[in-house]
Structures are given as C-alpha cells and as structure tokens.
Structure 1
Amino acid sequence: MPNSSTEHPKLVTFRNAFFTGLVLVAPLMVTLWALLKIIELVGGRARPLLIHLLPLQLQLRPGLTLFWDILSTVVVLLLVALLGYISRHVFARFLIRTSERLMLVIPGAGPIYNTVKQIVGTFGVQNRNLFSKVVLVEFPRRGSWMIGFLTSKSQAEPQVKTGMGEPWSVFVPTTPNPTSGFLLLLRPEEIVELEMSVADGMKLIISGGSVIPPWPPPKDAPVAATRESEA
C-alpha cells in the first residue's frame, strides 16, 4: 500500500516552479510598487502646480493622470538636482573667497599663502604641460649648472635674430619659489636633457635639492612621464 504522506511528483514540480517564479517576480513587483508610491507622493502633489502650465485641452483630457504624475516627478527631480548643483558651486566659491580673506588678514600668513597659491597655479596640470623635459644648462656662468625645463623648440623672431641657428627655449626657475625665473635661448648642444620626469624636476627645485629622484629611473618611469605629459 503506497505511503499517503508521500507528495505527488507533479505537485512537487509545481511547488518548485511556483517558488522559482516568485523569487523572480517579487523583486520586480516590489520595485514597481515603490516607484508608483514615489510617483504618487511626489508627482501627485506637484501635478496641480505644473498642470496649469499646460493647454486647457490637455488638462481636461481623461486617462492622463498617471502620465502627468510621472512627468511632474521627473520635473521635480530635475529641479532638485539643479538646485543642489547651483548650491554646491555657489557655496564652494563662497567658502574659497572667505578662506582667502581669512588667510590674508592673519599676520604673516598672507605672503606664505600667496606664494603657495602662485606655485600651485604655475605648476598645475594645465601649466605643467608647457614643460616638455627637464634639462641641465650652464647658468649663470660656465661651470655652474642649473635645473631648467625645455619649453619650446619653435623658431620665431627672437630665436632667428639671435643668429645662433635654431636655439631652444628653456625656463630656469628660482629656488625655492619657482614662480620666477629666467627664459634662456640656448643651442641644443648647450642643453643636457635629463631622464627624470617633469614632476620630479619640480620636486627637486621646490625642495632646494633635498628631494632627489632615484636614478637610474625605474623601468616604468618613461611610461609615467609620458602619461603625465598627456594629462
């Protein structure tokens, strides 16, 4: 006699299929329910304010309540995002201006702040791309070498009128404040090109020679320098 407690195979198959379908459908139903609640809460309250901007024929057209609720929700979300974007940037500018004014009124902090600001502006990513290579030049006299940056190989009126052939432009900054320096027009044979990256050259100058980049450079140094110049 068969065991009455044993479930029928078809019933087991149906139950397994039902729970599998429920697992697939439940997240979709919950998500849809949540979206409808948001649309009802946000769009339903904003619709009376926005629907008056529409032509009268569209206002009185039946069956479009859900559509206007969805449209009102989208408009409200866009307005909130726009408000956040404007507030963030306005607040950031206000905070920066207030911080600058505070730094300038602190005794002794103003000159330091201005110097650091000039250094950051001079050697920021945008201006740093002007320096193509770190070089050594004999300056201000023979036998005295200084770190500089090769800025251009282009030939214009100053280069041509030197009568030096095709000199290159080299910027030699001062240490430790590299915002000032000297622009030199030198023959290529008077310039010693270095393997260090522009960033390492900046660190060397700003630190007054206390931060020495490793040499020979790591194997990935040329790749890093290339990426840096392309940034």
Structure 2
Amino acid sequence: MFRSFRNGFIAGLVLLAPLAATIFVVNLLRERIGRPMNEFLFYYIDPTFRHLPGVSFVLDVVAILVVVIFITGLGFLSNYVIGKFAVRIGERLISAVPFVNSVYKTVKQIVDTFSRQQKAVFQKVVLTEYPRKGVYVLGFLTSEARGEVQAKTGAKVINIFVPTTPNPTSGFLLMVPKEEVIDMDMSVADGMKLIVSGGAVSPEWKDGADKPESVQVENPQALNA
C-alpha cells in the first residue's frame, strides 16, 4: 500500500511539474517586470484602486506587454540607420563609465558570439570518449580548431562544447582529434533535451544499416563564422 501511494504521489508530481513551472515563470515575470513597470506606467491611477487584486494583475500583464512591445520595437529600429546611430551613441556613453563599460563589453561579446549566425554556433550533436576510454559524452560541434592549437597538436582537432547537466548554460570545451568524434543523427534540439533531462528523455531513432562514422567538417569557414 505504501509503495502504491508513493508511486501515485510521484506520478502526480510529474503531471503537475509543467504547470508549476509555468506558474513560477509567469509569477517571476510579474514580480520582476510587471509590478515595477506597473508602478512606473500607471502612477497617475489612485493607489487604492490600482492595488486591488484583480486590477493589479491586469495592470501587471499590461505592463509586461508594454515592455515586450518596447523591446521588439528596439529590435526593429536597430535595423535602420537611425536605430544604429542611437545604438552607437548609447554604447559610447556606456563606454565612458568606469567598470560598467568592462561589464557591458564582456556581455556584448558573449551575446554577439551566440547571436551571429545562430545556426553556426552548434553545428551538430557528436559523441566522443571522455573522460576515459569506454565512457562517452554528448557534445556539440562548434568548429574546427585553427592556428596554434592545430599546429602544436599535429592532428585535425575538432572543437566540442560539452554542456553540464541539467544546466546547459555552463560547460567546458574539448579539443578532440576528428577521427575520435562520432557524428550523431539527432538534432541539436534533441541533444539539448537529452542533456537537460539527464538522459531521461531520449529522442526516437530508427536503427540504420550503416554504423556512425567520424564527423566530417566539409566547410571549415562556415563553422568558424
């Protein structure tokens, strides 16, 4: 009886987890963005009326929508001459502020790296033996190594980003000889799901007749874009 109760409780938690995560994200957006912007945008409304539960929720949602529209507008505007000019002026002002300029430049470099040709950041999902022979790790092919790394290793080396589980925003870089890298059929999205779930969510795959071959980098220039 206790085992059945435990299994039923765990099954209920699994069913409620997506809903709980959705509520958490919505509440976080409301607390961190909606509520402060509500106070800023609708300051002229009587506080007694504005803080009523129903009214406060509606105003928070409207405030979030205003922020989303504003950010979207900036994105569209940045594609035109006036927007680009405004961005340059803003970056010059930020560059004049000590400490803030270094933080801004670092974050901007990271964002530019991942936003420039997003499809070229993670080329494909690969498999390689790490940290020892017989143990495999799933990673993402980013590019073919060049320059000093390629010259001093004396081999064709592939750069592989290996995310951590279950938080894929951190990870480490492996530089592996190309012949030791196995190309996977799964998409980058499926590979990310597998990593985030800790291996619990495996993508469907129909067993092919051919065995996986070592990954081939057909266009090194595209990989390094």
Could you say which TM-score interval applies, normalised by the shorter chain? 0.3 to 0.5
Larger Rg: 1
Length-normalised TM-score, structure 2: 0.40
